[in-house]
Structure 1
Amino acid sequence: MTLRPALLSLFLFATVGTAFAQQQTACPYVAWKSGFKGDARAQATCLLRPVKLYARLGETAPLPEFLAAHIGQRTDIAPARLRAWLAQQSVSEADVGGAVDAPLSRAVGRLAAPMARYFVIHDTSYPNFLLDAIPAHINDAGWDFNDFNIRNPALGGGPKGHVYVNRLGGSLQVRDFGTPGYASKLEKDKPSLTGLFLHVELVQPRNSVPGGGKGNDGLAPDPGFTPAQYERLALLYIAASVRRGTWLIPAFHAVLDTGFANGHDDPQNFSLSEWSAALFRLHAALRQADTGQ
């Protein structure tokens, strides 16, 4: 069929518009299962759509190899093995969300009080340098926001994540993974879900999109996060999954907020492939330590 130019333009606009609308659609929530539609991997595929400028979501894509192979499966690391490895690395259990043999939080507002199953990745979107350039030393120890003694995210108002990770890979527990706490529009809208989601905040500064509105924080550094942040995020994910006994379903904050007014736009410039590679390395190290090989 040959379309006239005007009809062709209308057809292309409708097609692109439909595809864009599908990308911005919230993952289907299923009340009876206290979660989202599909098995664990299908949920993760939806919940890990890339987050772009102004919280626009990219298309779904196949999960990286480690996540595809493990999400929803039984963990193969014993809490005692993880505890011993952490001690060898001089990492406190408090820095990875709490005791690794303790249960995770539960959604006590739900009839069966299901245990946490979602691992939500945020960025702090702070500090905002407005129209100034983001400083070149944000990945150095001398930057104030890499020192939790100087810039403590537990202080101040508003919802808090469970654990914060600075750009040096250091982490600070604000709330144990066993304690429910909301940090998304979805949980605020459906309070009974609080406890199903564990929230991790990665320190990432922002600055403003020129002409994008006074005080906006639309621009993030690229790359968005450091290798040390991906390594610590991998450790937090493993620690939380060991506590549950199955690999958690990861999600991006902005995807959870899709469909809600004033939804968030984080994490920006997050690399699933880098995080998956960090998970591979850490999982292999723990398995090797477990077998003594």
Structure 2
Amino acid sequence: MKNLLIIILFVFNITKIEAQIPSQEFDKVKMEYKGTKAVQAKLLMRHVEMWGKISEKEAKLDAAYLDLLISSIGITKEQIQKYLSFKNITNNEIGGDINSPISSVTAGGKKVFAKYFVIHDVSTPALEHNFPQDINEESWSFNNLDRWNKKVTHVYLARTGKSKTVADFSEGLRATKFELKKLGIPSRGLYIHIELIQPRVYPPGNAGNAPVAPKPGFTEAQYERLALLYICSSFRKGEWLVPAFHANIDQGLNDSHDDPQNFETQKFTDKVMQVLLDIKKY
């Protein structure tokens, strides 16, 4: 009887893990996902497969990065400003002035600053055959940030590593199905959104739903600038934001998205650690 009970509990726990969907792990009172930052990051950064399929039980995140999540920011305003000046990076490229507060929501009657850093890809243009050879170059027209103005994100990030702010990090946006359809207006300001430029190819699929992304999915320059955006947004909050993938946030919802495709989490976390070290040199 005892052995049977153990088997039943074991099966129950497996089922629970397999059924884990972020929207079901969200506490609307606290306006956050359940668990520590490490638990949340492992849930929200699970690898996104073609068509938005998510098979991982939890993301494989570097131990050093998980330690970083619960540590202090560890850099000063002066260090960031000197780094930005040396790199000739303007406020318009990093979500606004680092002296300004980040967006916020109300939770439990209190003002709570943004908690999540959401990584998207634009999934466009949809190409019928092959990717152009110059998709990572200035010559590819979709890397021209002048064409990206729609305020469905805070920052657009081209494959060249250049970025453009269309909404300051202090401005609350809703850019996922979960925010728009489930949480509603009270969630405006809980998430910081970043759109990475990435084209797609079909078939399979079609021009309205092209599933094939380039490999590698993103460039080294994109990862480096994404790391800087993450650091700057976290600095403005005063603690590290929890990174998340769009597809994980919307998992299980109707018409959910499949982005970002072919994202290499280790490259991102390595860049965060490296850029942080570079900033500390100033």
TM normalised by structure 1 equals 0.85
* SS of residue paired to 2:233: helix
Change (3 A) 1:25 1:278: closer
Structure 1 residue 287 corresponds to structure 2 residue 280:
yes
* SS of residue paired to 2:111: coil
Give the stretch that moved more between structures: 223-232 or 280-289: 280-289
Partner residue in 2 for 1:38: 35
Structure 1 residue 58 corresponds to structure 2 residue 55:
yes
Q: CA deviation at 1:134?
A: 1.6
Alignment of 1:204-283 (within 5 A): 204-210=198-204, 212=205, 215-283=208-276
Distance 2:104 2:207 in 1: 40
CA deviation map 1:54-91 (0-9, x unaligned)? 11113113312442121143211112221121011110
* SS of residue paired to 1:32: coil
Partner residue in 1 for 2:135: 138
Query: What amino acid sits opposite 1:118 in the alignment?
Result: Y
* SS of residue paired to 2:198: coil
Question: Unmatched 5+ residue regions in structure 2?
Answer: 1-10
Identity of aligned residues (%): 35
Q: 1:22 aligns with which of 19, 27, 45?
A: 19
CA deviation map 1:124-156 (0-9, x unaligned)? 001111x3212121011100011112xx2214x
CA deviation map 1:214-251 (0-9, x unaligned)? 64211111110000000000000000011111011000
* SS of residue paired to 1:114: strand
Partner residue in 1 for 2:189: 195
Residue-pair matches, total: 268
TM normalised by structure 2 equals 0.89
When you count strand as a share of all residues, which structure comes out higher? 2
Distance 2:280 2:54 in 1: 35
Distance 1:35 1:23 in 2: 15
Distance 1:264 1:110 in 2: 30
Partner residue in 2 for 1:177: 169
CA contact (8 A) 2:23 2:178 kept: no
Question: Unmatched 5+ residue regions in structure 1?
Answer: 1-13
Distance 1:86 1:35 in 2: 31
Q: CA deviation at 1:21?
A: 4.8
CA contact (8 A) 1:108 1:195 kept: no
Partner residue in 1 for 2:66: 68
Distance 1:112 1:27 in 2: 23
Distance 1:66 1:229 in 2: 21
Distance 1:61 1:33 in 2: 23
* SS of residue paired to 1:103: coil
CA contact (8 A) 1:137 1:143 kept: yes
